């Protein structure tokens, strides 16, 4: 038996010889291992999809030129949501090294800190990834009456021409993402505009012309908070600047904390050492100012704050630069013009200690309003302290994995590697729906939380309800967000309900819960609605069904025309009606998600008061005035 096992093992082992050793050039490596350079590919429906990383990599180079004092205008054009051109008026890429600068890894001008002191792009990778992952890529450098222009296809040089020019100095980049990699992609205007606005907040004096639209900021991080706040500030925004640092903050009546952080113009959406320093020292400074025994959580409850830091040679946790990992303001090794630098924590702490303390002494009205907010938060926390303790104990004792939560292997320590960005949790209602998703899901990264009936309407209630209500308490524990978004266990929180009136009502109640107590969960793009097909249209041909799933009436009509004559049409009224085998098609790689968004003019308090408050008659009139009667499709067929 042992001999047989050995023979079988030998037979099943693939050959390994010189032919297996393969060398990839720089462009090939990027295309084969794109995730190392830009994260996920995606189709542009999510703000972290790869096409926006490509755009950002191009923009970073132009922004670095502005930061070095070269060029105050950048033109960005996106044609048909597919093709991008960026023209800056900086110094232009040195022409002798133009080809290497856009096609050879570890080649760039930012290794020399004299040329780019506080750049976000340090590793000579970004623009090469754009080149390699584009079906067509063009670069032109305009310098002192000469232009050198090169064209590439999928990273391979096609043409290289030098000529005289009358154009101003600067760099022009054109790229069209490779649609064999970025399947069915489209640039979404809201994501592009947010990216450009973030650049202007951090670079006052810079103007973008985006498809002819002018975008600029005159007040930096103060403008950022004003444009993103969905609750009124309790006092005027505190806006403070120093060398290499800028902060802005205020308090609102919303629950939780909301932060925006940047390093060298890069939006660090996952925070890092600078954001942690901001949170720690702003609470410590305020506590010391009042000289009261206040909890940091009470001081920060309702705060909306932003920090922008300029750092020499920042270290990020990945090529996509969404989280700052280093803790040094500049290289730890002493340089000619300065000693070894301070830590980021100390640098931020010293600035906040001095400037925020001075501001509060000079602005007693703001200090008084802030104290009232802190005392209100403290009073509420103490009022629910007993309930909170019992609720925590109940959540710990509850067997979440069997009762409400079917967790994924990633959180059961059964999956290797960093898959946090791929994790999601489906919030669904009823045994049949949760059963279908549970049987169909990817157990490695997808979890399921099952609601029991409709959740409570939490509008107007205090946070005490989060701990008193079993559904909310266990959901909060499953998400691990009681102490803030840093502990969030899943990158996407997906509300998955039936496409009927009851399902819509459950969606609304869940969104109300998040808006009421965890608004940052929505603002930071973690909450989604699962789109499942309304119809299945199929026709048997040669003994095999040809099937088309339709998410809209328009798709249904098109499917009927394609599969005629006499196609079989099924209307899915609930998730439980879809078999697990079919459900796999809807929560896999092609899963359709609609992100829950908050716009600048969506004031949460007023929004919830109208749709979830006690103004029954006013809301009823609104529904009547906006009623859309759905046609009876069965008659049509």
- The DSSP call for residue 285 is H
All domains of the chain in start order, with CATH: 28-215 (3.30.565.10), 244-383 (3.30.230.10), 402-532+593-625 (3.40.50.670)
pTM beyond cutoff 0.75:
yes
Cross-sheet strand order for the sheet of 73-79 = 156-164, 146-153, 134-143, 170-177, 83-88, 73-79, 207-210, 213-215
Residue 296: predicted pLDDT: 94
Q: What is the pLDDT of residues 85-132, one digit of tens each?
A: 999 999 999 999 899 888 887 555 444 544 445 554 543 467 888 998
**Rounded mean pLDDT of 311-340?**
68
Which range, of 24-33, 190-199, 238-247, 343-352, averages the lowest pLDDT? 24-33
Q: Between these two residues, 487 and 419, which has the higher pLDDT value? A: 487
**Rounded mean pLDDT of 295-324?**
84
Largest CA-CA distance found in the chain, in angstroms, rounded: 86
Q: E-strand spans in 467-563?
A: 492-496, 527-531, 535-541, 544-550
Q: Is the pLDDT of residue 401 over 60?
A: no
Residue 328: predicted pLDDT: 76
Which range, of 116-120, 352-356, 368-372, 521-525, averages the lowest pLDDT? 116-120
Residue 48: predicted pLDDT: 80
**Rounded mean pLDDT of 620-637?**
58
Q: Between these two residues, 22 and 463, which has the higher pLDDT value? A: 463
Q: What is the pLDDT of residues 247-285, one digit of tens each?
A: 999 999 988 899 999 988 888 888 889 999 999 999 999
Residue 118: predicted pLDDT: 57
Residue 368: predicted pLDDT: 97
Instruction: Report the chain's mean pLDDT, rounded to a whole number.
Output: 83
* Residue 475 burial by Cβ neighbours in a 10 Å radius (0-12, 13-18, 19+): buried
Among 139, 109, 133, 134, CA closest to 121: 109
Among 502, 388, 504, 517, CA closest to 458: 517
Kindly state the percentage of the chain with pLDDT values over 70: 83
Q: Is the pLDDT of residue 10 over 50?
A: no
> In angstroms, rounded to a whole number, what is the distance separating the alpha carbons of residues 184 and 507?
28
What three-state secondary structure class fits 312? coil
Kindly state the percentage of the chain with pLDDT values over 90: 38
Residue 392: predicted pLDDT: 75
């Amino acid at each position: 038996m042992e001999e047989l096992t050995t023979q079988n093992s030998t037979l099943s082992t693939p050959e390994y010889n010189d032919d297996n050793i393969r060398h990839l050039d720089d462009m090939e490596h990027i295309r084969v291992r794109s995730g190392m350079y830009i994260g996920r590919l995606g189709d542009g429906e999510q703000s972290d999809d790869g096409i926006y990383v490509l755009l950002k990599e191009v923009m970073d180079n132009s922004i670095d030129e502005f930061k070095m004092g070269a060029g105050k205008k950048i033109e960005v054009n996106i044609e048909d949501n597919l093709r991008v051109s960026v023209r800056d008026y900086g110094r232009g890429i040195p022409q002798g090294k133009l080809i290497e600068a856009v096609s050879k890894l570890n080649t760039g001008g930012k290794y020399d800190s004299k040329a780019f002191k506080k750049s976000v792009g340090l590793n000579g990778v970004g623009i090469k990834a754009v080149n390699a992952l584009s079906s067509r890529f063009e670069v032109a450098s305009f310098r002192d009456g000469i232009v050198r222009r090169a064209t590439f296809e999928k990273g391979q040089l096609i043409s290289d021409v030098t000529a005289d020019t009358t154009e101003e100095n600067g760099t022009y980049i054109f790229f069209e993402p490779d649609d064999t990699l970025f399947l069915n992609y489209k640039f979404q205007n809201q994501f592009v505009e947010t990216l450009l606005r973030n650049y202007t907040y951090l670079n006052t004096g810079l103007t973008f012309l985006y498809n002819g639209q002018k975008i600029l900021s005159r007040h930096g991080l103060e403008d950022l908070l004003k444009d993103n706040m969905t609750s009124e500030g309790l006092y005027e925004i505190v806006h403070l600047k120093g060398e290499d640092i800028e902060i802005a903050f205020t308090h609102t009546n919303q629950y939780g904390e909301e932060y925006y952080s940047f390093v060298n113009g890069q939006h660090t959406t996952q925070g890092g050492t600078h954001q942690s320093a901001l949170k720690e020292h702003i609470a410590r400074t305020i506590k010391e100012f009042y000289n009261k025994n206040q909890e940091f959580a009470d001081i920060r409850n309702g705060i909306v704050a932003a920090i922008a830091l300029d750092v020499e040679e920042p270290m990020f946790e990945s090529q996509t630069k969404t989280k700052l990992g280093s803790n040094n303001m500049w290289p730890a090794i002493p340089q000619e013009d300065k000693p070894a630098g301070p830590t980021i924590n100390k640098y931020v702490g010293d600035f906040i200690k001095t400037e925020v303390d001075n501001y509060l002494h000079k602005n007693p009205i703001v200090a008084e309003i802030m104290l009232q907010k802190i005392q209100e938060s403290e009073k509420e926390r103490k009022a629910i302290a007993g309930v909170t303790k019992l609720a925590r104990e109940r959540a710990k004792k509850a067997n979440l994995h069997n009762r409400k939560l079917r967790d994924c292997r990633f959180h059961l320590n059964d999956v290797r590697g960093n898959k946090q960005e791929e994790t999601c949790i489906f919030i669904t209602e009823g045994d049949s729906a949760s059963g279908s998703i549970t049987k169909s899901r990817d157990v490695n990264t997808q979890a399921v939380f099952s609601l029991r009936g409709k959740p409570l309407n939490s509008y107007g209630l205090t946070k005490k309800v989060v701990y008193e209500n079993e559904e909310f308490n266990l959901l909060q524990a499953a998400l691990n967000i009681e102490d803030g978004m840093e502990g969030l266990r899943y990158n996407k929180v997906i509300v998955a309900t039936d496409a009927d009136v009851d399902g819509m009502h459950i969606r609304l109640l869940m969104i109300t819960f998040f808006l009421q107590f965890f608004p940052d969960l929505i603002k930071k793009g973690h909450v989604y609605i699962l789109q499942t097909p309304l119809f299945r249209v199929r026709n048997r041909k040669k003994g095999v069904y040809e099937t088309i799933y339709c998410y809209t009436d328009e798709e249904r009509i098109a499917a009927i025309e394609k599969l005629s004559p006499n196609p079989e049409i099924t209307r899915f009224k609930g998730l439980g009606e879809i078999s697990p085998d079919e459900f796999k098609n809807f929560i896999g790689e092609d899963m359709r998600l609609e992100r829950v968004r908050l716009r600048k003019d969506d004031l949460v308090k007023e929004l919830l008061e109208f749709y979830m408050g006690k103004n029954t008659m006013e809301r009823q009139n609104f529904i009547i005035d906006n009623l859309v009667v759905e046609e009876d499709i069965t008659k049509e067929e």
